[in-house]
Structure 1
């Protein structure tokens, strides 16, 4: 991820690789850093965002990810939120059942560098981030499946083409579940496709994707780095012994030398049949200051106590009683008096809690839940390494405890 607190350039290794002992350090001091790694990734959640959001942001933070493109988030409408160290952007269906959906997690180190964002539809959105003079347009996608109605695929690529075509001078990084098998080492797409994709030939969706990349000056970074097969396939159906590469990090050709690695990280986990595809870019970054002045938040949760609520009402009535003698000439003055009186009573009765960096706190996401989630992750890894019935049952029992 972005390490902004060091005085010279350092190379970061993606978590999960042999040369990486653990997640890279995160420094939020805002000190200048001229050149280092930008860690990005994409994941199909398979099951929606809401039930997995706290575990997701914790894992993203542990893995040092700066930008995460999400698919199958299953939300309605457009959502912008702040969750721990990440800004959340989700684009879902306008009406009807909450199917599909795409989105982003953007680390707060990059928050001040967000230029703009657009919610296109439930299969496409993009966000532009300015990094040291250059603007990077991150595009999150979720393509229709192989065999879907051709009109849907045509509409998807028409919308995607519009987003890429109108990028101007922005550098494109396209991530998501393309539901496409592109094969590898095809001489007809030598500049787009590397030697290290999956062995299966391209399907219809894959050919459509390759044609689109060729016409848009994009390359499929997954296929340019040699890894074990388990770090190549992003989707797996163990029950039917099926696996494939469906999730991609696709970049402009001019960024080819900036990509240091792209691979699957199976240990990320998230109760999905898809795995995280992570990519590390080495780029020049701006001097971002992530520090925010701590803010004071009223302790409104104290109103659940009947005695405190009664005291608050008494104080409020006394203060409003004192206002009766005031003659108000206009609505603005009246509103100002009302607001100041109400807040004054709240400050006097409830008090404040100090929140650093505007990080939202969630009562139920505590150390006990975190420990249970961590145990679930350990059992998931055990099952991945040794797929016995006992390991699967143990994992399911732990998963049910958390639910």
Structure 2
């Protein structure tokens, strides 16, 4: 909540790190924030939206952080807070929209009913998205999806990380097959340290459990997906940084009518020129047998043109 003493400090530190890595939209998990809300950071300019439990909790909670400029330009919509594990917003593109979904899945050892509930909730969100719209799922899925590119063609690339697949991994792969999604972390050939995202505290083995997932049809739009071990975000997970080509809708600025310096009419010279011009233009327009609306339009055009030619504009 905005009145928490710790939130501004944490969000300010994170915003500086996001700006350092030139991030426009960030998905955050395990925020521990209650309810839902918004917080603006001024330096640098980022806006946080979050969705959490109604009561304080030691886990759960998701948030999306966005460059404030994107909101101001109308490129980013207001978020939809689904639960303490899922929230989304829309990116307004030139010809379509892309749903950005931040999610946090139950751990692999948690009760199957919790996992079922999470995936049903995520499926419900995906079902509301038109087929013509893009999808970006970003988050901690607590899933090891393995390397079986042959079995999961179009879903997994040839550059996975974990040898084995766990229960959460199977659930995620089945969801991707159902919704025609692809796991982008596995499509880029790079060192293991740039694939793995989390180190098991007991075994000290690294795993890939945080993902960027998009539609099959938009796979070519993803130019990079890389784990960043140097990012300081106060978490035991590595940041996953992805570059995705989108085409935001351009909002053209509306041209404003010129504002004239009416005070200049107090000067005899300018007032005389304006009066003379109005008389000249008025005599050029015949107002006989015209409607009230036409008379008003002609008079408005006369005064506007006379002002444009004789009265200086306000600076």
TM-score tier by shorter-chain length is: 0.7 to 0.9
Question: 1:89 matched to which residue of 2?
Answer: 49
Partner SS state of residue 188, structure 1: coil
Residues 317-396 of structure 1: pairs in structure 2 closer than 5 A: none
1:289 Cα deviation from its structure 2 partner: 7.8
- Are residue 60 (structure 1) and residue 18 (structure 2) matched? yes
Question: 1:215 matched to which residue of 2?
Answer: 178
- Are residue 272 (structure 1) and residue 218 (structure 2) matched? no
Q: What is the TM-score normalised by the length of structure 2? A: 0.73
CA 1:289–1:145 in 2, change beyond 3 Å: closer, same or farther? farther
- Are residue 108 (structure 1) and residue 71 (structure 2) matched? no
Question: 2:113 matched to which residue of 1?
Answer: 151
- Are residue 73 (structure 1) and residue 63 (structure 2) matched? no
Unaligned runs of 5+ in 2: 1-5, 254-315
What is the alpha-carbon distance in structure 2 between the residues aligned to residue 49 and residue 264 of structure 1?
A: 26
What is the alpha-carbon distance in structure 2 between the residues aligned to residue 238 and residue 197 of structure 1?
A: 21
Residues 175-254 of structure 1: pairs in structure 2 closer than 5 A: 175-237=138-200, 240-254=203-217
Question: 2:301 matched to which residue of 1?
Answer: none
Q: What value does the CA root-mean-square deviation take over the aligned residues?
A: 1.9
Aligned equivalent of 2:89, options 124, 127, 131: 127
Q: What is the TM-score normalised by the length of structure 1? A: 0.58
Q: 1:267-310, CA deviations, whole angstroms, 9 ceiling, x for partnerless residues?
A: 112232101001111232333589xxxxxxxxxxxxxxxxxxxx
Query: Greater relative contact order (Cα 8 A, min sep 6): structure 1 or 2?
Result: 1
Partner SS state of residue 268, structure 1: coil
What is the alpha-carbon distance in structure 2 between the residues aligned to residue 164 and residue 267 of structure 1?
A: 33
Alignment check: 8 A CA contact 1:234 1:247 kept? yes
- Are residue 139 (structure 1) and residue 97 (structure 2) matched? no
Residues 289-328 of structure 1: pairs in structure 2 closer than 5 A: none
Q: 1:103-154, CA deviations, whole angstroms, 9 ceiling, x for partnerless residues?
A: 1011123102223421011100001120223211000000000021111001
CA 1:238–1:255 in 2, change beyond 3 Å: closer, same or farther? same
What is the alpha-carbon distance in structure 2 between the residues aligned to residue 232 and residue 59 of structure 1?
A: 20
Partner SS state of residue 196, structure 2: coil
What is the alpha-carbon distance in structure 1 between the residues aligned to residue 104 and residue 184 of structure 2?
A: 18
1:237 Cα deviation from its structure 2 partner: 4.1
What is the alpha-carbon distance in structure 2 between the residues aligned to residue 279 and residue 289 of structure 1?
A: 28
What is the alpha-carbon distance in structure 2 between the residues aligned to residue 271 and residue 160 of structure 1?
A: 27
Partner SS state of residue 175, structure 1: strand
Partner SS state of residue 146, structure 2: coil
Unaligned runs of 5+ in 1: 1-47, 291-403
Alignment check: 8 A CA contact 2:75 2:93 kept? yes
Alignment check: 8 A CA contact 1:109 1:289 kept? no
Partner SS state of residue 280, structure 1: strand
Alignment check: 8 A CA contact 2:144 2:162 kept? no
Alignment check: 8 A CA contact 1:258 1:283 kept? yes
Q: 1:190-243, CA deviations, whole angstroms, 9 ceiling, x for partnerless residues?
A: 110011111321111000000000001110000000110111100124774221
What is the alpha-carbon distance in structure 2 between the residues aligned to residue 138 and residue 153 of structure 1?
A: 21
